[in-house]
Structures are given as structure tokens and as C-alpha cells.
Amino acid sequence: MRFVDTNIILRYVTRDDEAKAQACMTLLQRLETGEETAISNDTVVGEVVFVLESPRQYGLSRTAIRSLLIPVVHLRGLRLPNKRLYDEAFDLYCNYPIDFVDAFNAAYMRNNNVSEIYSYDKDFDKLEGIARIEPAV
């Protein structure tokens, strides 16, 4: 088994290097058909989102990013440790003014029946069902 790195997903979705995009598409097709299996992780997906949304890089909208990445995340042969959380994480990311990592963490919390978070990040205050707590002395 092999690991899929950030740049493979980026080359595929951005098509900024057509030869690499085609090679990445071929790989992802093999993952979709089950001809090949590979692993990746949540950090890779978060990094892809960060690069795609960055105004200095691609400046894509949140909905465009969700549309590009949901099919990749759900490839049959791509093993992600928290695959079932991505639909909710992308929904939160698209519907609230929070960054993707916070959206993913909120989805993770909800999936684990956790409603309180220790954080100084006030973005969590925007999410229903999550209470942010600042540590006290």
C-alpha cells in the first residue's frame, strides 16, 4: 500500500500541469475502481483546502473546494481515518465563516458526542451545539 500526498490531489484538481494532472487522474481512477488501494490522512486534506482557498495560490470558493474534494475523499480505494466526517465538515465549512480545520474538528466532536471545547478560538461560538470554554486559573 502507498500514501497519497497533498500535491497529488492538488495536481489533479487544479490541472496546473496537464501531464501531472493526467497521471494523477489515472491513479485516482485506479483507486476508484479498487484496482489499487492507498492511504492518506486528515492533514493532507486540510493542506489541500488551505492551498486551494489561499488568495496567493488559487483563491477558490468554499463551495468549489467542496465540489472538487468530496469525490476524491470518497474514492473507494482511498483509506482515510475519518472518511465519514468529511461531508459534515465540508457542510460546516461552507455554511459558517470558520476555517476548514475548525469545521473538521467540530464534525469530529459531534461524531463523538462532545459538545464542549477548550479553546480561545471564537469561531467555535458560531456553531450550534458547541460550547467554547476558555481555561480558567
pTM over cut 0.85: yes
Distance CA 114, CA 6 (A): 29
What's the pLDDT band for 137 if we cut at 50, 70, 90? confident
Residue 92 burial by Cβ neighbours in a 10 Å radius (0-12, 13-18, 19+): buried
Length of the chain (residues): 137
Tell me what pLDDT residue 46 has. Answer: 96
Tell me what pLDDT residue 20 has. Answer: 96
- Please check the confidence at residue 3 and state whether its pLDDT lies above 90: yes
Residues 6+ apart with CB under 8 A from 28: 12, 72, 75
- Please check the confidence at residue 75 and state whether its pLDDT lies above 90: yes
Distance CA 22, CA 28 (A): 10
What's the pLDDT band for 57 if we cut at 50, 70, 90? very high
Q: Map out the domains of the chain as residue ranges.
A: 2-81, 97-137
